[in-house]
Amino acid sequence: MTNLPNYTDYDALGLAELVRKREITPSELKEDALGAIAALNPELNCVVGDLSEQAERALDVGLPEGPFTGVPFLIKEIGVQAAGSTFRMGSKLCDGFVSNADTELMRRFRRAGLLTIGTTPTPEFGFNPTCESDLHGPTHNPWDLTRSPGGSSGGAASAVAARILPMAHANDGGGSIRIPAAACGLVGLKPTRGRVPAGPISGEPLSGLAIELCVSRSVRDSAALLDAVEGADVGAPNVIASPERPFIDETSVPPGRLKIAWSAEAINHAPVDAEVKAGLEKSVALLESLGHELVEDKPAVDWPSYFEALVVIWSANLAWSIDLMGKIMNRTPGSDNLQHVTEAIYRYGQG
C-alpha cells in the first residue's frame, strides 16, 4: 500500500508539484520510496546505505523551498559526500568510513529540497562499466535480472529504472552516467567540465574527467537539477559562465533543424554488436523523420595514444585515492582489501 497510488507515474518535478499543492507530504513520499526499497532491493541490490533517520531529522527541521522540495533522493557512494553517511566507494579498504561534512554539491542538493534517504553502490573506486564489487556484490538491471545495469552509477540507474524514485545522484568520468542510463533506458547527461562543483574535498576529480549530476526518467528533471546545482564553488579550478537562461527553459524551445553526425564504428575499432547497430539505425531514422539532417561521419582518433593517456590518468588518480584512504582507515592497501584488478592498476599507478 502506498500513500500515492500512482507514485511511479511521476517524475521528480511532478512529485514536487504535488507537495507544493499539499496533495501529499514529503514524509509520505519518503515512506513510499522506502517501501519500494524494501520490496525491490533484495533482488536488485541497488541501495546499500540507509539514511532514513537523517531524512526524518531533516523533515523535523523543515525542508528548504526549492524545485524538488520533498522528493526522495539517493546518493552514490563516490563523489558527493553527506555528513553522517557511509562513503565506501565499493571497496573493503574504505569499509567503515563515514563522512563528517557535506560537500558543496550535497549542500546544493539539500537546498534544492531533495530528501536523501539512502546510498547506492559503485564498483570498486568507480573503475568498471558494470556495477559489482567484493564489498557489496552485484547490482541487477530491473529490466532483466540476469544483466547488469551498467556502471559505475549502476546502483542509481537500477533504482530509478525500477521506479523506486524518479531521480538519483550519479557521476561520470568515462561513461559512468551515460553507460547505465543507456543500459536502463534513462536520461543520462554528463555536464561540461566546471559546470557542477566538486569541492571542497576535490578540485577536479580524475584530473577533470569526473563530473557530477544524476540519472533520471525525464529530460526536464535533469535540466532542473542542473539549474539547481550549477556554478563554481569557492576555489574551483575552472569557472564557466552560467547559461543565459535556465536549462529547464531550453526543454520547451523548438530546436530547429539540426545537423547531427553519427557513426556505427567504434573509436577503438572493436566489433559492434548487430543489436547495437540496429538500435543506432533506428535512432538515425527517427531523427531524420523529425526533420533533422543526419551525416555519417566519425572523428579522427589516435586510439593507442588516447588509451595510453587514459591509463596514465586513471591509474595515477587511483593510486593517489587508495594511498589517501589507506592512511585515513589505517589500513595497508593490498590483496586483503582490494580486488585483483584494482590492486594491479594501483601498483601501475604508483610508478
Of 228, 253, 278, the domain-final residue = 253
Last residue of one domain, picked from the residues 226, 253, 280: 253
The residue whose grid cell reads 511521476 is: 10
Q: Which of 133, 153, 176, 321 is catalytic?
A: 176
Regarding whether 203 and 346 lie in a shared domain, the answer is no
Is 92 labeled as catalytic in the residue annotation? no
Assess if residue 261 is contained within a domain. yes
Q: Tell me how many helices (H) and strands (E) the chain has.
A: 11, 10
Range scoring the smallest mean pLDDT among 43-47, 186-190, 251-255: 251-255
Do 148 and 91 sit in the same domain of this protein? yes
The CA dihedral of 279, 158, 14, 220, to the nearest 10 degrees, is -50
Whether 157 is in a domain gets the answer yes
Cell of 40: 525491490
SS3 at position 29: helix
Using DSSP's 3-state secondary structure scheme, residue 35 falls into helix
One domain for residues 22 and 78:
yes
Q: Are residues 273 and 241 in the same domain?
A: no
Residues 196 and 341 in one domain: no
Integer distance in angstroms from the first to the last C-alpha of the chain?
56
Same domain, 263 and 193: no
Task: List the catalytic residue out of 91, 152, 158, 222.
Answer: 152
Phi, psi of 215 (to 5 degrees): -115, 145
Structurally, the chain folds into a number of domains equal to 2
- Residue 186 shares a structural domain with residue 313: no
| Residues 155/48, Cβ–Cβ less than 8 Å | yes
In a domain, 317, yes or no: yes
pLDDT at 176: 99
- 239, 266: one domain: no
| Whether the Cβ atoms of residue 148 and residue 44 lie closer than 8 Å to each other | no
Instruction: Report the DSSP beta bridge partners of residue 133.
Output: 137
Same domain for 163 and 75, yes or no, is: yes
Residue 331 lies in a domain: yes
Same domain, 234 and 309: no
Q: What is the DSSP string of 10-43?
A: --HHHHHHHHHTTSS-HHHHHHHHHHHHHHHHHH
Task: Give the tens place of pLDDT for each residue, 288-299.
Answer: 999 999 999 988
Name the residue range of residue 249's domain: 7-253
**Taking the CA atoms of the chain, what radius of gyration do you get in angstroms?**
20
* Percent of residues, the chain, with pLDDT higher than 90: 96
345 is a domain residue: yes
Burial class, 105, CB count within 10 angstroms (exposed 0-12 / middle 13-18 / buried 19+): buried
In the listed set 198, 219, 253, which residue is the last one of a domain according to the structure?
Answer: 253
- Are 276 and 162 found together in one domain? no
pLDDT computed for residue 299 by the predictor: 87
What cell does 67 get? 524545485
- CATH code (residue 198): 3.90.1300.10
Asked if the structure places residue 1 within a domain, the reply is no
Kindly report, residue by residue over 45-87, the tens digit of the pLDDT. 999 999 999 999 999 999 999 999 999 999 999 999 999 999 9
pTM confidence score: 0.97
**What's the CA gap between 124 and 314, in Å, rounded?**
13
139-181 pLDDT per residue, tens: 999 999 999 999 999 999 999 999 999 999 999 999 999 999 9
Helices of type H across 45-123: 52-61, 104-111
315 is catalytic: no
Of 165, 176, 168, the closest CA to residue 129 belongs to: 176
CA distance 115 to 54: 9
Q: Is the per-residue pLDDT at 1 higher than 90? A: no
Nearest to 62 by CA among 31, 28, 27, 102: 27
142 in any annotated domain: yes
User: Is the pLDDT assigned to residue 250 strictly greater than 90?
Assistant: yes
Q: How many other CB atoms sit within 10 Å of the CB of residue 81?
A: 23
Confidence of residue 136 (pLDDT cuts 50, 70, 90): very high
Domain identity same for 85 and 219: yes
Which of 31, 20, 119, 121 shows the shortest CA–CA distance to 75?
Answer: 119
**Within a domain: residue 2?**
no
CA–CA dist 15, 222 (Å, integer):
14
Neighbours of 14 (CB within 10 A): 15
- Which one of the listed residues 30, 76, 222, 315 is annotated catalytic? 76
- Known catalytic residue: 148? no
Q: What's the pLDDT tens digit per position in 2-26? A: 788 899 999 999 999 999 999 999 9
